[in-house]
Structure formats: C-alpha cells, structure tokens
Amino acid sequence: MPRWFSDSILIRVAVVGFVCLAATSAVGQTPTYRAPRTAGGKPDLNGIWQALNTANWDLQGHAAGAGPVPSLGAVFATPPGLGVVEGDEIPYLPQAAAKKKQNQASWVMLDPEVKCYLPGVPRATYLPYPFQIVQSQNVIMISYEYAGAVRVINMQAPTKAPAESWMGWSNGHWEGDTLVIDVTSQNDETWFDRAGNFHSDALHVVERYTPLGADTLSYEATIEDSKVFSRPWKISMPLYRRVEKNARLLEFRCVEFAEELLYGHLRKKPGN
C-alpha cells in the first residue's frame, strides 16, 4: 500500500471520528459534554445567545394565526409552534384561567411587550432578540437587546432583594456544568408571552442553563406561583449562539416605538 494512501485513510478516520464526536455532543443532551472553562475555572457561558422558537407568541403548542392588524397581511401573522411547556399544560387555578383568556382576547391592549415594558424572567430569554452573557467570577451580567433590559446575577452567598422590580432579583450558583439562577421579587406586571399567560408577584422562577455543545445551551425554567398555578410547571428550549463573527447587541430602545400608542391620544388637536 502506498504511503500516501495509508496516511490519507488515517486522516479520514480521524476526521470522521471527530465529526461523529462533535455531532453526538451537539445533538443529544449527552452528559459527556464538558463545557470549556473560563480562566476562573467555571463553565464558560460567555456569548451572544438567542432562542429560535415561537414561545414568545405562545408557550403552548399553537397553529399559525392571523396577525392583530388585518391590513398588514401575512407580515405580522403568528407563526406556528410546537410549544415549550412540559406536558403542554399550564396548571392555572380556575380564576386565573379565566383571566388568561381575557388577557389573550385583548393582548394588543394589555401585553407589556407592546408598550415596551421590561420583560421579566423567563420571557426575556425567548423574546425574538439576542441577549449577551458576560460572565465574571462574582457576578454574571445578562444584557438583553429588547428594551435594554439587564440583570446582574449574584454568584456569591445569596442576597435578598431590596425591592421588587420588573426583572426580579437573581441569585445564581453552579451545579456541575449548569448555571442555576433563582429569581424572586418580580412584580406582577410582566407576562410570559403574547397569548396572555401571566403570573402574580408571588412568582418564583428557577432557571437552568446547561451547555450542550460549543454553540448550544439547554434552557429550563421551573415556574412556581401559588396565587396563579396549582403546581410548579416547566418550560425548556435550546438557546443558540449567534456565531456571526461580528455579532453584537444593538440598541432596541423601543420606548419611542410605543409612544404613539401610549400618548398619541393626548396630542394637540388640529385647530386648538
């Protein structure tokens, strides 16, 4: 056998083996994948990430639907989605279920996203905009493109919220390769999606970010709110790295896009 042949076979075997390995770790949630470490020795979640699903339209499975403004045709129609809720059921208490229906019926009037309000957690994660994790030792910052929302996660001994807020109070810790964030003290103004899914100020969210491969994270959020739900429930989805070489968060200061809706009726009337 010529020398060049055996060499190329060897190289091919090596390449195929590598590709298989890479493919295995990226696809299934192989527990064998070990995330690269930061200089500080923690799993490295730094990067710009984005969900690629329709959870922001409706956490539950949904068929495609017409958009809120008929004259806009297909452009703002609701894309269909398989849903991200475990078991596809959100366990509303009876009264809360009625409120959810009302919310959904008039979501354009009521959804805080329409008004460019801060999105709360977990919705910030799966809004159709990227977000960036800037990971340090004692804190991890998550900066969201939408409305310039931001959270600083405390990675030291847990602290208590000084006050309730739109984005809540985040204490994090590592469980193996998983970043676990406990979020409390969110106000009752935010929603989960455009389908009117909502919560109260008793909301408690536990998020889990687990690297699945170099460019994929698994995101899970367990949602607990005894005023609204009969039991805790869970959503899960992959998050994808924005791999563009020049990936950046840009300004999406949406206040100016919501002003006409909020203040337009107070404009000076012609002739006055």
Partner 1 sequence: MSHRWHPSTAALATAILLLLFVQGPVAGQTASSTTKRPTAGKGWTTPRTPDGKPDLEGIWTNATLTPLERRKGVGTKEFYTDQEFAELARRVRNGDVGEEADIGAAAPQALRYDLSLYGFDLTKATFASNKRTSLIVGPEGVVPPMLPEAIKRNAEIAAKNKGHEFDGHENRPLQERCILLGQERLPMVASANDNNLLQIVQGPGWVAMLHEINHHTRVIPTDARPHVAPTIRQWQGDSVGRWEGNTLVVDTTNFTGLTVNFRGSGEKLHLVERFTRISNDTILYQFTVDDPTTWARPWTAEIPLTKTEGPVYEWACHEGNTMISNILRGARVAEDEAARKTAK
Place of tokens 């922001």: 56
CB atoms within 10 A of CB 179: 23
Q: Which two tokens stand for residue 138?
A: 């004692």
CA atoms within 13 A on the CB side of 114: 15
Residue-wise DSSP of 204-236: EEEEEEEEEETTEEEEEEEEE-TTTBSS-EEEE
214 near partner 1 (CB under 8 A): no
231 near partner 1 (CB under 8 A): no
Interface residue with partner 1, options 1, 63, 75, 163 (CB under 8 A): 163
Sole window of 74-82, 115-123, 172-180, 210-218 interacting with partner 1 (rule: CB under 8 A): 115-123
| Smallest gap from residue 238 Cβ to partner 1 (A) | 22
Cβ closest to partner 1, residue 3 vs residue 268: 268
Cβ closest to partner 1, residue 5 vs residue 263: 263
Q: Which two tokens stand for residue 220?
A: 């899970």
Size of the site for partner 1 (CB under 8 A): 49
| Smallest gap from residue 105 Cβ to partner 1 (A) | 24
Q: Taking CB under 8 A as the criterion, which residues in 240-259 touch partner 1? A: 246, 248-251, 253, 255-256, 259
Measured distance CA(203)–CA(185) in Å, rounded: 7
| Smallest gap from residue 40 Cβ to partner 1 (A) | 4
Q: Which two tokens stand for residue 266?
A: 């107070």
182 beta partners: 171, 206
| Smallest gap from residue 220 Cβ to partner 1 (A) | 23
How big is the CA angle at 27 (ends 21 and 32), to the nearest 5 degrees? Answer: 55
Measured distance CA(176)–CA(217) in Å, rounded: 14
38 near partner 1 (CB under 8 A): yes
Backbone angles phi, psi at 140, to 5 degrees: -125, 125
Interface residue with partner 1, options 51, 85, 118, 121 (CB under 8 A): 118
166 near partner 1 (CB under 8 A): yes
40 near partner 1 (CB under 8 A): yes
Pairing of strands 150-154, 47-51: unpaired
Q: Taking CB under 8 A as the criterion, which residues in 122-151 touch partner 1? A: 132-141, 143, 148-150
Give the footprint of partner 1 on this chain (CB under 8 A).
38-41, 44, 46, 116-118, 132-141, 143, 148-150, 152, 159, 162-163, 165-167, 189, 246, 248-251, 253, 255-256, 259-260, 262-264, 266-269, 272
